[in-house]
Amino acid sequence: MQRFNLTILTLVTVLFGGHAFAESTSSAGKNSPNILFIFADDWGWGDLSCHGHPYIETPNIDRIAREGTDFQNFTVASGVCSPSRTAVMTGLFPARLRIDGHFAQPDKNAERGMPDWVDPNLPMLPRLLQQAGYMTGHFGKWHLSNNMIPDSPRPEAYGYDRVGAFNCSGEQMPVHDDAKLAIELIEQSVAAKKPFFINLWVHEPHLPFHTVEEYRERFPDLEPGHNVYASVLAHADDRIGKVLDTLDRLELTEDTLVIFSSDNGPAGSGEAGKLKLKYDSATGEGFGGGANVGTTAGRKGRKGTIYQGGIGIPFMVRWPGKVAAGAKDDVSWISAVDLLPTFCEVAGAVVPESLHPDGISQLAVLLGEPSPVRQKPLFWKKQESRNGDADYAVIDQKWKLISDARFRTFQLYDISVDPLEKNDVVTGHPEVATELVGKLKAWNETLPTSVDPALFSKERAAQGTRVKKR
């Protein structure tokens, strides 16, 4: 039995990463395109005016879609926040790092068999770009650790020149300062004559809903829950618009790859309820789940699931003169694990030989060459749930197979004609199901069985918590 060992991966990275970084430094620089990656939090596929929502107003995100390409079949690597963001940063399936759920208090992480933070010594997307000559910044939500883990590494340890963040250790950035700080870094990069890479990871529309009165007044005819939801999305869209306006003002629009996406699908049931105040230790007080009215636009499942409603989210790409404007791609299956190799190719940064990303560069697809058949399989393993029917999944070629945690019950979808998982065809294609179950089990056997204690908080040790076996 071959098992992927996290400790070995880290050691290999440390030993051999430096040479590759040195190579990448010489391959990029001031002439490389800027990269602005906007990552929302729980933003459902249907929660955009350009996706047909009846009252939500997102003119600035719509502009990205209008001036770029709207990819219809993008998937993230998890239905919840921390593992989804980990995949973006590392190019790896988060199960390879035993990150199946969100980072919480150390005792909760121990119960789940998780580390308390992502290993900062892994090859990280921002560090690769930083070594390639980029000025790097992260502004907004972090959650590759947590503010409740005070000894966890700060985001700066992962390869950023400048950080404003919350859901991390140390000082918490005011939740709406993300765009202001991103604009400051853009201006600094111009002065330094360096390209920039910015993660703009906005809080919206995650709980609590931090409303601003002027945005609530835009939607006077909506019921309270819908009013709150529409107002926070409008506020986020306006902040995104200010960053896009800055690119225009500094004449950087033509030289900047802009992507809008989200970490997972919408939270809650989608039904409005009674509004109650909720306090979050990282972001403060706002409205609670009564305003969780996000929509998947017909996709099955929601946040927390590995159905398309949980992992199939918006993905819009603008790069004037390179990415087709006003276009839609509804055949290519792109994943969050593809972003690291894709961004590295865009930037001219070399992926270290020690890193074997689970994704592939999709630059050719972004530039207009659709890829209707997924050649490199995608795998999901979610935090195991009692009586759940969807704990593992694999996409291979034109098929998606879903399994329960014990590999006893299966669903099969032909995603080339049924991307919304409406028609389970497992009984009609037993040979396909058998092959994919075999691949899923083989992949599962490669996953680590333990976590490097170096990734444990001192508070976990103080609590004397025993790591859960699985």
Determine the number of helices (DSSP H) and then strands (DSSP E) in the chain.
13, 16
The pLDDT assigned to 8 comes to 36
> In one letter, which amino acid is 28?
A
Cβ-based burial of 193 (10 A; exposed 0-12, middle 13-18, buried ≥19): exposed
Q: Dump pLDDT digits (tens) for 287-327.
A: 999 999 999 999 999 999 999 999 999 999 999 999 999 99
Q: Are 149 and 106 in contact (CB under 8 A)?
A: yes
CA distances from 141 to 56, 119, 290 (A): 23, 18, 22
pLDDT confidence of residue 468: 46
What is the residue whose two structure tokens read 């809008």? 260
Residue 162: CB atoms within 10 A of its CB come to: 18
Structure confidence at residue 463 (pLDDT) = 59
pLDDT attached to residue 101: 94
Q: Crossing angle for the helix pair 178-192 and 224-249, nearest 10 degrees?
A: 10
What is the tens place of the pLDDT at every residue in 328-352? Answer: 999 999 999 999 999 999 999 989 9
> Quick one: pLDDT at residue 251?
98
Cα–Cα distance, 446 to 370 (Å, whole number): 31
- Are 344 and 362 a contacting pair, CB within 8 Å? no
DSSP-assigned letter for residue 209 = B
Q: Provide the pLDDT for residue 18.
A: 37
- Name residues of the chain where pLDDT drops below 50: 1-28, 465-470
Q: What is the pLDDT of residue 384?
A: 74
Terminal Cα-to-Cα distance of the chain (whole angstroms): 16
Return the residue matching tokens 């390869």: 159
The whole-number pLDDT of residue 334 equals: 97
Strand 162-166 to 135-141 pairing: parallel
Q: Of 459, 451, 466, which is closest to residue 150 (Cα–Cα)?
A: 459
**Which residues sit opposite 196 in a β-bridge?**
135
| Cα–Cα distance for residue pair 365/380, rounded to 1 Å | 23
pLDDT at residue number 29: 53
